[in-house]
Structure 1
Amino acid sequence: MLDEMVYRSEDVAAAERFDYWVELLGRTHAPLELWSDCADDFRFSQRVLELGALTVWSADFAPQVCRRTPKLIRQSDPESYSLSFGVRGTSTGVWRHREAMYKASDVFITSTSLPSEVRSTGIMTSVVEVPKSRLPFPRDIVNRIVGAPMSAQEGMGALLAQFLTGLTADTAPYQRADGPRLGVVLADMVAGLFAHILDAGDSLPPETHKRTLTLRIKAFIQEHLYDPHLTPAAIAAAHHISTSYLHRLFRDEDATVAAWIRHRRLEAARRDLTDPALHATPVHVIATRWGFPRATDFSRAFRTAYGTTPTDHRHQALCRQA
């Protein structure tokens, strides 16, 4: 399991909760001045994942005002960018060069080196903290987009939001050693988003270009697993690259393109087979749903991958759950 910490207001006495929250934000983001009408009994929860040089944290907290002042910046600056993905609630941010309102499903970038004030209603958010040293952009250029609201429902913003949601939903499948690797992937995705916003694709190192494209391709595959015509040629055409280049992108992965598609389909089918809510759904229907139109092909691939038939696997899993 990944390195993970969970903090809740219920862990401390009511009179100490707001100060505790101020301390937590100072550790996970940067030192801040905070005010809240709910300070006498401030309610919050925070979950923190350490991914190598990057930190991901999600939080649910009462209305507040937070301010990053020039004095605090001089005293302590972790030199990082933060990407905040709204899940619930609204916020208003003020910088020297911009004032903007953010709603749920928006993402906005902040810099620990710039003075700011953010007023939030009761809010739920997910945040990525990225050291500036991990991104290949001049800081004065990135400062132009600090505070600008962007959609997390389409394009690069949606891709990053989907990755973040999947990562934070369940950390059990990952080992502690995966943390730094996931941090590298996440840093590349953030770099891709910045490049998209700045229209500075040529500023990305070639290796980051390749990683970002590979991530987009994997997201495309995941969204089209149901399609039995999902082939390397179709994937390459959808991304305006040659099939040979697609295969080169996957040389550094654990499997070929076709093998990666087959593995993701089998994992999705295996998950459905063990879902009690789908116990009455025939095996062949689940197989078709995940891109295996021929039951014999599905059974053969499933047995090769897991050493048992789909029917036996379902029976054993449901018996354990009973």
Structure 2
Amino acid sequence: MSGRQLSGTLYSTHSAPAPQRLEYWRAALSHAFAAVDVTVPDEVCSGSVRTSRLGHLQVATVEGDPLGARRTPRLIARGEDQQLVVTLLARGVARFEQDAREVELRPGEIVICDMARPLRMEFPNPFQTKSLVLPRRLLGLGESDLQRLTATAIGPDTTMGSVLSPFLAKLVDTAATYPSATGELLARHVVDLLTVLLGERLHQEAGDTPGAPQVLLPRIQRYIDRHLADPDLTPDAIARAHQMSVRYLHKLFQTEDVTVSRWIQRRRLQECRRELARREAAGRTIAAVARQWGFTSAAHFSRVFRDVYGMSPTEWRDSSMRAPRTSLSPSGVPRVLETATA
């Protein structure tokens, strides 16, 4: 079976000859989620998988007769399929075992599975599931946090379940109908929603665990620092790099009481101010220092520098050259080095 063929297509075991149906079923499930070993009662199986792309994510509806599936260390060792699967059980009963936990699901409940670690699934009766498949890295969670989330039932009576269950069902059912641009936008919002809901769930389970904003914001600030010299560093570019919406990016920065653009400008000014105070950089022009840290206009740089620090870049440099030898704190505030007295 071609991997490309399955995407956006319904595949059913009824289209395969009876002797080949078990292998066909295993291949269909492996493509939709990750490579798995499949067992069925009496070697008789019937089922279908429908997958659709949603931007950089994938959704899947699976229904079929009783089966068991395992994600084994041998399959994981191939080094591929580093995915998380968020599954809503729509019909039937299911048992999931991962990270030394076992959970039984009823219709309307959700479970999260990490395809990078061993997993066992059993469906003892005819069933239907609706799943969202996404790269593990998108949620920005560490291994310990992921292990706390897997193989635990998220019921429709919980805050997370009441929001996610109907949303996931509708999303999977309609994903194939969206234009490409709409799908990309929806995918970003889906990742934002999962990040918030999973962060809150972790926070509720352990008071010392940071929520989603506390996890994401430092990571984004480090990204900004690494790319300060890029004049194209904008909120849009940052949001794309982190697979989130610009709206959610701005929401994260509300805790800093500053906009994303102002944060970028502040960090650039701090680095320029630091550089201008260095005696080793006395021969560099103001414009060269401004360009080094992402300012494209020397006039604009001088104007915002004066607005923030109350003096021009030239005045700051002259005063720094006349002052005693100083070092600068991370915030750009000069710190006079004490000299030893005789």
The alignment partner of 2:199 has SS state of helix
Residues 109, 212 of structure 1: alpha-carbon distance in 2 compared, 3 angstrom cutoff: farther
Cα pair 2:85 2:134 within 8 Å, conserved:
yes
Residue type at the aligned position of 1:30: A
Does structure 1 residue 194 correspond to structure 2 residue 231? no
Residue type at the aligned position of 1:69: T
Q: CA RMSD in A?
A: 2.7
Cα pair 2:63 2:129 within 8 Å, conserved:
yes
Cα pair 1:29 1:129 within 8 Å, conserved:
yes
Pairing partner for 1:211 from 222, 232, 248: 248
- Cα distance per residue 1:213-257 (max 9 Å; x no partner): 99xxxxxxxxxxxxxxxxxxxxxxxxxx9xxx9xx9xxxxxxxxx
CA distance in structure 2 between the partners assigned to 1:168 and 1:127 by the alignment: 7
Cα pair 2:61 2:131 within 8 Å, conserved:
yes
CA distance in structure 1 between the partners assigned to 2:19 and 2:157 by the alignment: 39
CA distance in structure 2 between the partners assigned to 1:132 and 1:194 by the alignment: 13
How does the TM-score come out when normalised to structure 1?
Answer: 0.60
The alignment partner of 2:194 has SS state of helix
Pairing partner for 1:115 from 114, 118, 139: 118
Q: Which has the larger radius of gyration?
A: 2
Match of 2:35 in 1: 31
What displacement does 1:147 show?
A: 0.6
Residues 118, 173 of structure 1: alpha-carbon distance in 2 compared, 3 angstrom cutoff: closer
What displacement does 1:192 show?
A: 1.8
Match of 1:73 in 2: 76
Cα pair 1:22 1:32 within 8 Å, conserved:
yes
What displacement does 1:26 show?
A: 1.2
What displacement does 1:136 show?
A: 1.7
Match of 1:174 in 2: 178
Residue type at the aligned position of 2:106: K
The alignment partner of 1:26 has SS state of helix
Residues 161, 96 of structure 1: alpha-carbon distance in 2 compared, 3 angstrom cutoff: closer
Residues 81, 173 of structure 1: alpha-carbon distance in 2 compared, 3 angstrom cutoff: closer
The alignment partner of 1:151 has SS state of coil
Residue type at the aligned position of 1:205: L
CA distance in structure 1 between the partners assigned to 2:145 and 2:17 by the alignment: 44
Does structure 1 residue 94 correspond to structure 2 residue 131? no
Cα pair 2:52 2:175 within 8 Å, conserved:
no
| Residues 285-300 of structure 1 mapped to structure 2, 5 A cutoff | none
Residue type at the aligned position of 1:142: L
Cα pair 1:195 1:203 within 8 Å, conserved:
no
Cα pair 1:58 1:125 within 8 Å, conserved:
yes
Residues 163, 12 of structure 1: alpha-carbon distance in 2 compared, 3 angstrom cutoff: same
What displacement does 1:179 show?
A: 2.0
The alignment partner of 1:60 has SS state of strand
What displacement does 1:165 show?
A: 2.2
| Residues 239-254 of structure 1 mapped to structure 2, 5 A cutoff | none
CA distance in structure 1 between the partners assigned to 2:62 and 2:159 by the alignment: 24
Pairing partner for 2:51 from 31, 48, 62: 48
What displacement does 1:166 show?
A: 2.2
Cα pair 1:7 1:46 within 8 Å, conserved:
yes
Residues 43, 181 of structure 1: alpha-carbon distance in 2 compared, 3 angstrom cutoff: same
How does the TM-score come out when normalised to structure 2?
Answer: 0.57
The alignment partner of 1:105 has SS state of coil
What displacement does 1:157 show?
A: 2.2
CA distance in structure 2 between the partners assigned to 1:8 and 1:115 by the alignment: 27
Does structure 1 residue 19 correspond to structure 2 residue 56? no
What displacement does 1:97 show?
A: 1.9
Residue type at the aligned position of 1:86: L
Q: Give 5+ residue unaligned stretches, structure 2.
A: 1-6, 204-209, 218-238, 260-342
Match of 2:308 in 1: none
Match of 1:310 in 2: none
Cα pair 1:137 1:203 within 8 Å, conserved:
no
Pairing partner for 1:139 from 143, 146, 159: 143
Cα pair 2:62 2:130 within 8 Å, conserved:
yes
CA distance in structure 2 between the partners assigned to 1:34 and 1:128 by the alignment: 20
Residue type at the aligned position of 1:146: T
Match of 2:85 in 1: 82
What displacement does 1:204 show?
A: 4.4
Match of 1:152 in 2: 156
Residues 170, 138 of structure 1: alpha-carbon distance in 2 compared, 3 angstrom cutoff: closer
Cα pair 2:59 2:175 within 8 Å, conserved:
no
What displacement does 1:177 show?
A: 2.7
Cα pair 2:8 2:176 within 8 Å, conserved:
no
Aligned residues: 214
Residues 195, 212 of structure 1: alpha-carbon distance in 2 compared, 3 angstrom cutoff: farther
What displacement does 1:194 show?
A: 1.3
